[in-house]
Amino acid sequence: HVQLVESGGRSVMAGGSLGLSCAATDIPYRRYCMGWFRQAPGGEREGIAVIDTGLDRGGGMRYYSDSVKGRFTISHDNAANTLYLQMNDLKPEDTAVYYCAAAGYPCRVEAVPGYEYRGQGTQVTVS
């Protein structure tokens, strides 16, 4: 069955960097979208980054929310079937539980929180 397992969340100082990983198994699509969304305490789920695993070559099929654009980078290792999120210049408002998610399509940032497959989440705290 499908499994998405995030790792890498921890506490970090404002202005610092952090990398998250998401190992995926048994995604039942040959071509699919993977993304990250986050949820702060008391807040709504926010899609922040998505990548088209079937078309991305050199970054052409990656999309970001305005809140993280220029600071976060999403990438995907097709061979390892692992999704990454490199987060730079972290701010206290980035504090949240971060989830990876996967679905067939569409590859839209705002759609990521509704993707059919998601992991258990990893906590990122910025202070």
What is the residue-level pLDDT of the chain in tens, covering all 127 positions?
999 999 999 999 999 999 999 999 998 887 889 999 999 999 999 999 999 987 655 444 899 999 999 999 999 988 888 999 999 999 999 999 999 999 988 899 999 999 999 999 999 999 9
10-to-28, 98, 125 alpha-carbon distances in Å: 31, 11, 6
Q: How would you classify the pairing of strands 82-87 and 62-64?
A: unpaired
How do beta strands 122-126 and 11-12 pair? parallel
Closest CA to 100 of 88, 118, 115: 118
Quick one: how far is CA 15 from the chain centroid? 19
